[in-house]
Chains A and B, each alone.
Chain A
Amino acid sequence: MMVVAKLARASRQLAGVLLIAFLGATLVFFVMRAGHGDPALSALGDLATPEAIAAFHKRWGLDAPLVVQFWRWLSGALVGNFGVSMTIAGGVPIADLIASRLPNTMFIGVYALVIAVTISLLAGTVSALRHGRMIDSAATSMAVLGISMPDFWLSYVLVYALALGAGIFPSYGFISPAESVAGALYSGFLPALAVAAPMAAAFTRILRTALIETLYRDHVRVARSLGFTGAFIFVHYVLRNALIPYVTVIGLQVRYLLGGTVVVERIFGVPGIGALMVDAAFGRDYAVVQACAMTFLVIVLIVNFLVDTLCNALNPRAA
């Protein structure tokens, strides 16, 4: 009985997600066209002759009504055909560009998430258990500093300290995980850390607050009265109940995480989607910008869906 209800709920959520994806595609396509009108002009230049423009239109199906073009673009996108890059990688299918770069961005993103979660679990736990004391104040202050430093500045601080200064990590360049996982972990550490730091700060704060609130709940006291060990109580009574707000915040922060990768990729020379989008922006390759925007949207929607599912699984009241 409950399984059916949960399936129904999940499919309703999925429908909502698909709706937003569709609306997003609409927004991206039409707004781009509204802003830059004729792709022919941007590809061929302002001095293009009317004949050249007409030929361009015919070649790329731009003579069809806008809605039809949208439909073609969308249906193409659904099967992975985003069209072809105009300027920054002339003639290369955009799908290929994205496919080659997406793993790098995802790698840095996941790497950053792992770092942020690890740091916050440790720091949040320590400062909650010792709250009010020195180590808590230290951790909280660091957390506030963490969210006050833009990640692109932190990148340089790290580069200065750990790369140029101590020479432990490379200051530029990225080895794709497809070539060498170890290489990727090594060259990706600084960029991931730069993106992770503000996340870690935010996660630590929410975990600390959630833990402290749970520590004073009645059921924790009951558990203590039954003689369970401190570690057992912490894991099953305190942490377990603090996980829900914690995971929720992680889900909310993913948007910032992805946004952060854009600049950090540029700084560290990571060939990811963010860097691609920036290059395309400068190169006026609007089709690529469009495709990148859609890719990011889809990633966020997928992550949100996963986080929601996880939260529902953790929360026995969600039925």
Chain B
Amino acid sequence: MSASALIEVMNLRTSFAVGGERVEAVRGVSFSIAPGEVLGLIGESGSGKTVTGLSLLRLLPSHASVAADALRFRGQELAELSDRQFRGLQGIQLAMIFQDPVGSFNPAKTVAWHLKQAIARRARADDENSDWRDEAGRILRDVGIRVPERVLASYPHQLSGGMLQRALIAMIIALRPAFIIADEPTTNLDNLVERQIIDLLREQQKKLGASVLFVTHDLAVAGEICDRIAVMYAGEIVEIGPTRDVLQRPRHPYAQGLLQTSASLERRDEYLYELQGEPGGRGAAEGCGFVARCPVAMAMCRSKRPRLVDVGPGHTSRCLLHEQ
């Protein structure tokens, strides 16, 4: 863990109380993000990637419990902050872009109202006054909305998903946070719009110099925008390293499988390569979590739990194969 990291997460564990039982969604996730770096978090649904983000920002419902050995922002241990102190950081320093732009807006209020609140929030924190309308218009133009006045006057239900996602990004930009979690920001959008939003995100991230945790299941998208990539399976990170290394030469069987599937899709194979077993399916409590679906599983994989092992510069993977 480098001392200059913006975000440091060590052994994050999140579980939910469901009908008397405890369900573990995140089982010991660790990573760090440097200032200005984009870390991708890739996984299927149910892998725990969204819950990881929500855990960091204290956005989970009350029946969730979050624990970690360390959860640091700019060196400050977040767990020590009271709810009130943490709220002071939310939005201003730590922000999140959610998956569904339509549902993210208050249906009873105009876009103008939303931007005004965001700008006012920032202004309050910085102790400055600003004419929010000018700034709102400027920011909307910045995210590619050419006629800001019309969008400002509109209610959420009157705008398209793509437009709303731009407006949402505009809100985040108005806040100028240091760290942004983008949770599948383009999943609900169609391909053309997705392209534009990805470019927009990349451009704005560079401008703000913000660190980003980019959560997605789409390898291609991750490849374009992330500096490093972490692959998650069943609540654990199974491989993490520089983007090019992880995407071109993955070392973990799951990551390899993902890549093969993606390549197979692109080649338009007659029979799509798939990983056997159910998505998110977890093996026994001891042993490797991927054993039920792993094409190269060994006998000891059922009983011995693998740790993260170095497989290259800045590149680790969690597989017993590497320990041989």
Indicate yes or no for A touching B, C-beta below 8 A. Answer: yes
Query: Do A227 and B88 have beta carbons less than 8 Å apart?
Result: yes
Q: Closest CB of chain A to B249's CB: distance in Å? A: 36
With A226-B121, A226-B171 as contacts: A219 and B90 at CB distance below 8 Å: no
Residues in A with CB closer than 8 Å to B103 are: 217-219
Stretch at the interface among A61-69, A101-109, A233-241: A233-241
With A225-B96, A226-B91, A316-B155 as contacts: A241 and B121 at CB distance below 8 Å: no
Does A58 sit within 8 A of B, measured CB to CB?
no
Give B94-140 interface residues, CB cut-off 8 Å to A: 95-96, 98, 100, 103-109, 117-118, 121
Residue from B89, B92, B108 in contact with A316 in the complex, judged by beta carbons closer than 8 Å: B108
Residues in B with CB closer than 8 Å to A241 are: 106-108
Residues in A with CB closer than 8 Å to B105 are: 219, 222
Distance between Cα atoms of A97 and B171 in the complex (Å) = 61
Distance between Cα atoms of A317 and B105 in the complex (Å) = 14
Give A212-251 interface residues, CB cut-off 8 Å to B: 216-219, 221-229, 236-237, 240-241
Does A314 sit within 8 A of B, measured CB to CB?
yes
Query: Do B90 and A316 have beta carbons less than 8 Å apart?
Result: no
With A226-B121, A227-B92, A228-B121 as contacts: A317 and B157 at CB distance below 8 Å: yes
Interface size on A, residues (CB 8 A): 21
Does B87 sit within 8 A of A, measured CB to CB?
yes
Query: Do B108 and A226 have beta carbons less than 8 Å apart?
Result: no
Q: Closest CB of chain B to A205's CB: distance in Å? A: 22
Q: Closest CB of chain A to B153's CB: distance in Å? A: 11
With A218-B100, A317-B157 as contacts: A225 and B59 at CB distance below 8 Å: yes
Does B175 sit within 8 A of A, measured CB to CB?
yes
B60-94: CB near A (< 8 Å → 1, else 0) gives 01000000000000000000000000011111100
Query: Do B89 and A227 have beta carbons less than 8 Å apart?
Result: yes
Distance between Cα atoms of A6 and B121 in the complex (Å) = 35
Distance between Cα atoms of A314 and B98 in the complex (Å) = 26
Residues in B with CB closer than 8 Å to A229 are: 87
Q: Closest CB of chain A to B139's CB: distance in Å? A: 15
Residues in A with CB closer than 8 Å to B121 are: 226-228
Residue from A227, A237, A315 in contact with B106 in the complex, judged by beta carbons closer than 8 Å: A237
Query: Do B104 and A236 have beta carbons less than 8 Å apart?
Result: no
Does B57 sit within 8 A of A, measured CB to CB?
yes
With A316-B157, A317-B157 as contacts: A225 and B91 at CB distance below 8 Å: yes
Query: Do B107 and A219 have beta carbons less than 8 Å apart?
Result: yes
Residues in A with CB closer than 8 Å to B117 are: 226, 228
Query: Do A226 and B118 have beta carbons less than 8 Å apart?
Result: yes
Distance between Cα atoms of A236 and B90 in the complex (Å) = 18
Query: Do A227 and B91 have beta carbons less than 8 Å apart?
Result: yes
Query: Do B95 and A225 have beta carbons less than 8 Å apart?
Result: yes
Distance between Cα atoms of A218 and B50 in the complex (Å) = 14
Query: Do A226 and B100 have beta carbons less than 8 Å apart?
Result: no
Q: Closest CB of chain B to A212's CB: distance in Å? A: 12
Distance between Cα atoms of A136 and B157 in the complex (Å) = 33
Distance between Cα atoms of A225 and B168 in the complex (Å) = 12
Query: Do B87 and A227 have beta carbons less than 8 Å apart?
Result: yes
Distance between Cα atoms of A193 and B14 in the complex (Å) = 49
Residue from B91, B98, B108, B118 in contact with A218 in the complex, judged by beta carbons closer than 8 Å: B98
Residues in A with CB closer than 8 Å to B100 are: 218
Distance between Cα atoms of A241 and B103 in the complex (Å) = 13
Distance between Cα atoms of A228 and B90 in the complex (Å) = 8
Q: Closest CB of chain A to B259's CB: distance in Å? A: 32
Q: Closest CB of chain B to A298's CB: distance in Å? A: 32
Residues in B with CB closer than 8 Å to A217 are: 103
Distance between Cα atoms of A217 and B57 in the complex (Å) = 17
Q: Closest CB of chain A to B56's CB: distance in Å? A: 11
Q: Closest CB of chain A to B304's CB: distance in Å? A: 39
Distance between Cα atoms of A123 and B301 in the complex (Å) = 56
Residues in A with CB closer than 8 Å to B106 are: 219, 223, 236-237, 240-241
Residue from A218, A227, A315 in contact with B90 in the complex, judged by beta carbons closer than 8 Å: A227
Query: Do B89 and A222 have beta carbons less than 8 Å apart?
Result: no
Query: Do A224 and B90 have beta carbons less than 8 Å apart?
Result: yes
Residues in B with CB closer than 8 Å to A227 are: 87-92, 121
Query: Do B91 and A219 have beta carbons less than 8 Å apart?
Result: no
Distance between Cα atoms of A236 and B110 in the complex (Å) = 12
Q: Closest CB of chain A to B184's CB: distance in Å? A: 13
Residues in B with CB closer than 8 Å to A219 are: 103-107
Distance between Cα atoms of A122 and B73 in the complex (Å) = 39
Residues in A with CB closer than 8 Å to B108 are: 236, 240-241, 314-316
Query: Do A225 and B90 have beta carbons less than 8 Å apart?
Result: yes
Residues in B with CB closer than 8 Å to A221 are: 59, 98
Distance between Cα atoms of A221 and B106 in the complex (Å) = 11
Q: Chain B residues in contact with chain A, CB under 8 A? A: 57, 59, 61, 87-92, 95-96, 98, 100, 103-109, 117-118, 121, 155, 157, 168, 171, 175
- Can you list 14 pairs linking A and B with CB atoms under 8 Å apart? A216-B61, A222-B96, A222-B104, A223-B106, A224-B90, A225-B57, A225-B96, A226-B175, A227-B89, A227-B121, A236-B106, A236-B108, A240-B106, A241-B108
Q: A222-B168, A315-B108 are in contact. List 14 more A-B contacts (CB 8 A).
A: A218-B104, A219-B105, A219-B107, A221-B59, A222-B105, A224-B90, A225-B95, A225-B98, A228-B117, A236-B108, A240-B108, A240-B109, A316-B107, A316-B108
A-B pairs with the 8 shortest C-beta distances? A227-B90, A227-B91, A218-B103, A226-B91, A316-B155, A222-B104, A225-B96, A240-B108
